[in-house]
Amino acid sequence: MASSISIHSMLIGVVIISSLIATCSANFYQDFDLTWGDHRAKIFNGGQLLSLSLDKVSGSGFQSKKEYLFGRIDMQLKLVAGNSAGTVTAYYLSSQGPTHDEIDFEFLGNVSGDPYILHTNVFSQGKGNREQQFYLWFDPTKNFHTYSIIWKPQHIIFLVDNIPIRMFKNAESVGVPFPKNQPMRIYSSLWNADDWATRGGLVKTDWSKAPFTAYYRNFKVTELSTVSSNSFSDSALQNNELDAYGRRRLRWVQKYFMIYNYCNDLKRFPQGIPAECRRSRF
């Protein structure tokens, strides 16, 4: 399945529109605050590497100093190795308050030898329930891999190693709120969620394996430049984010690695699937 895809063919044709300014690499000291967990969150290597740890007493987390409204966010992560059951490594964008917006990556740990589950979700005006889950086509604990969010007024794209895994389109035309007015900070945390994270809470965290540690590097942000609202109405800008090859890669991931899609959960939505699910995915 995945082995048939050569390394060079993994390069995805994602076109970043000209309204994006140059990408800037970050220094964790300059761009992030360690917000909780005391000594369990660390920045080292001159600000180029960050780690979060979890033990039986506490997890840890960090957040960006700046807020962002649209753009592309890239972060390389190396996840907790070995028996990570019960742990969750969360990496997401979020505003604050009861009507907050949020764009989530969550990595649900598992027992040794079983794959991580990558959990994604989109909240708008405080409402989520838009989960899609995936297995990865590699071991995310062996090396660093890049996890990205492209957030535009037209859509949100989730990418892994520059391969799109999910697109959430703006469906305001059919009454679905879309995150577009609230600037968001970048957050990440490593915490214990053994009441639900692994097999619905059946598998608990093995604290004899603590501390559990995840690593971060090569954070990059590409912000949307200041453009008039009229620029976003141009059909070319609305449709050029993924080329034909990018759309094929998206279908490949969703065919072979998606394990849950809220749009297909008819038992969950007996009155009918959400309005955005009835629109074309691509």
Q: Any idea which residues carry the catalytic annotation?
A: 102, 106
Q: Are 158 and 36 in contact (CB under 8 A)?
A: no
User: Which is it for the CA torsion 110, 184, 101, 229, positive or negative?
Assistant: negative
Cβ-based neighbours of 172, under 8 Å, separated by 6 or more: 178
DSSP state letter for 98: T
The 3-state secondary structure of 29-96 reads HHHEEEEECHHHEEEEHHHCEEEEEECCCCCEEEEECCCECCEEEEEEEECCCCCCCCEEEEEEEECC
